[in-house]
A and B are shown apart, each in its own frame.
Chain A
């Protein structure tokens, strides 16, 4: 009798569990979207590069002269038009827009912003480029003329960068007043940010949301769990292993694009990788399908040429298999270079990020099969960056997205004459590529530009200043009730924050 009473009590208790739900972290205010970010933005300084989390928040608060349409094409933003007056002069016509303090956006604000970027002690990402301008003229309130020392075909792309927002020159010291769709209302350092729609945003009817609550979820599994449990409406950086489960859930949807990519860089200052044949041997020794499977759960695709996405007008189909899997060719190239009996080298990666670690391990196996024995060095990320910048490695695994979908976005990875950096090969100069990159920057004719970048890719396939490995899928996932948010194509995936202005939550 006592037993059955106990059992009844337990069952009754269990039945009441669903009614005991403790209200979530989510304050369900209508029209407010809760967004699960992958990390808390280290800085919201408008012109500095604070990583992708910072960039996403910056795209909510700030706007620049130009931006990107959801299809990836350049679109007017605070500038309603831009024209090339002569090869070194760009003319920008501003539109009627206001900053979040209610003041009009004028040419003086544009000039002031560019001056801050170029200032002494500025940590702006585009400091060098803007310092290299000849002058900035403001013929009237609504016109800005930018004169460059040399022809710069990619200037509109600079202006579209999320590191180039226009800030009110009347911003109080230490604050940055932008002209974007959302105003930062409150933030709890390391935890969350609250943004509210800016009613005076210059695009009629936008933003559609009343506000955005951004919560940082450092743990990828928790981020996914928060989406499944309804705590958040939208998450970024969907872990590859969770993509299947999200696709299978009818209450959720996944928006993923091949955006970022993994590649190898070399130490070009010493043997064996100062020899292009050895680098090419590496390129042909790796079966990329295995990498996509092992490191990205099949969510990605092999990258056997330069990382220019097939959707780009600069994509060169003829180099599609430039670095195809061909271990026999690898062995032949190694023998030609004098390493018929194989060679030993060190490979730098990091154990801090699974994709870097897994990629390194698979690459190691494939290289061993052709006689290149690499010893892995996988310190934490900070150490890996330091070692990479100092060139204390033979081969290193790297992952990033290009600066833009324009092939000029690859210059920082390909140009060995730039300062030593962990993002590109160490001290590996290919003169022809440097020349061609400069030519591409100065060329305004689209057809001729295409020809230049085609030649760059041809040289790169032979010289292998970097070796492409895989595209990796970059995903956002959201509740089905969310609409108007779009993952931007290719390298622009980290610009997807632009589409918060059209996002709605039912």
Chain B
């Protein structure tokens, strides 16, 4: 088991290195010069020697390989570097913003499960009936509407017309817990709409499948109450695929909340990534992508280990 874990760990580290290298290559290959952009704010023409000076100052005049080794060397010491824009530490910024995105994604998952699970079970129990068809149509609709449409509609209705919540923004939980949660609500709901639909559909399918199993029939034959059957025998068994699907989506959401963060002014890590790409802030882009992909790799590593624990055949395979 230990040898297996070590092997997987090595593979994971290699993966992180590959990602770091790929990101470094890609960001340097795409056109656009951070020094030029930095000096050309607001449509003005910077002097070329000003650009040259700045490139020198930022170390961008070094050969690419030199920059690459400097970068890898920094990474090995846990140093993500500093923003080209204002010398701000990239690690600090990620440490500040990643929890906000995690919180947003977590809140969205909670809302999605809260609604998706019971409605999915309900749809399965009423399979083929009008209620099932209605819920399935709603889920299909929720899945096909893009998040920025949902987001904009929610802002229009909740913030602008009903004035129930502020139109967006962020306040630290420590500063004002109530306002923090109020501001979290709209973006979380926006992500939860699509995610909840996925949960509903997966739950429905899974429950339908479990309902056909022998142990459920046996329980029915024993005269166990319907509520108890659903709770104890159906839902519990039907949850496995739901958890898998939700976990997969959450991973994707880590870097995929860009639009929601933008629409609601939520200062998370996704919006930060987009801004960094736009200004070609190399250290920022590389740092964020590396952290997000490392989380992915780590999750995969854990899943691999978990499989090995569950199924010993994997260890020797």
Contacts and interface: CB of A to CB of B under 8 A. Distances in A.
Interface string B7-25: 0000000000000000000
Given A49-B42, A385-B37, A22 B182 contact: yes
A228 interface: yes
A418 interface: yes
A127 B155 CA distance: 45
A399 B43 contact: yes
**Interface class of chain A by DSSP:** loop
Interface string A358-390: 000000000000000000000111110111010
A247 to B, nearest CB: 17
Contact of A43 (B40, B85, B93, B164): B85
Given A23-B178, A222-B263, A380-B278, A127 B47 contact: yes
B265 A217 contact: yes
A290 to B, nearest CB: 23
A189 B167 contact: no
Contacts of A225: 155-156, 159-160, 167-168
B30 interface: yes
Contacts of A230: 163
Contacts of A379: 31
A49 to B, nearest CB: 5
A412 B279 contact: no
A170 B155 CA distance: 47
A241 to B, nearest CB: 13
Contacts of B43: 398-401, 423
Contact of A42 (B86, B168, B170, B265): B86
Nearest to A387: B31
Instruction: Bin the interface of chain A by size.
Output: 35 or more
B280 interface: yes
Given A25-B179, A231-B167, A189 B279 contact: no
A190 B267 contact: yes
A472 to B, nearest CB: 13
**Which of B31, B33, B182 counts the most A-chain CB atoms under 10 A from its CB?**
B31
Interface in B137-173: 152, 155-156, 159-160, 162-171
Interface in A71-125: 121, 123, 125
Nearest to B172: A188
Interface in B23-76: 30-33, 36-48, 50, 53-54, 57
Contacts of A424: 45
A26 B36 CA distance: 37
Interface string A178-194: 00000000001111000
Given A49-B42, A381-B278, A398-B43, A23 B182 contact: yes
A43 B54 contact: no
B159 A229 contact: yes
A424 B183 CA distance: 44
A221 B278 CA distance: 20
A239 to B, nearest CB: 13
A18 interface: yes
Contact of B47 (A128, A215, A382, A398): A128
Contacts of A22: 164-166, 178-179, 181-182, 185
B36 A217 contact: no
B31 A23 contact: no
B44 A412 contact: yes
A217 B181 CA distance: 19
A382 B159 contact: no
B301 interface: no
Interface stretch (A51-59, A340-348, A448-456, A473-481): A51-59
Contacts of A51: 41-42
Contacts of B183: 25
Instruction: Bin the interface of chain B by size.
Output: 35 or more
A51 B164 CA distance: 35
B31 A421 contact: no
A368 B275 CA distance: 36
A20 interface: yes
Given A43-B86, A229-B159, A49 B267 contact: no
Contacts of A70: none
Given A22-B164, A24-B166, A222 B278 contact: no
Contact of B42 (A52, A389, A419): A52
B44 A49 contact: yes
B88 interface: yes
B86 A228 contact: no
A228 B50 contact: no
A216 interface: yes
Contacts of A52: 42
Interface string A396-420: 0011110100000000100000111
Nearest to A415: B45
A318 interface: no
Contact of B32 (A42, A219, A383, A423): A383
A212 to B, nearest CB: 16
A382 B280 contact: yes
Interface string A5-21: 00000000000011011
Interface of B: 30-33, 36-48, 50, 53-54, 57, 85-86, 88, 93, 96-97, 152, 155-156, 159-160, 162-171, 176, 178-179, 181-183, 185, 262-265, 267, 271-272, 275, 278-280
12 contacts: A22-B178, A23-B176, A42-B86, A125-B44, A218-B265, A222-B168, A225-B156, A380-B278, A381-B278, A382-B280, A419-B48, A422-B45
Given A25-B179, A382-B37, 6 more contacts: A51-B42, A225-B159, A225-B167, A226-B166, A229-B160, A423-B45
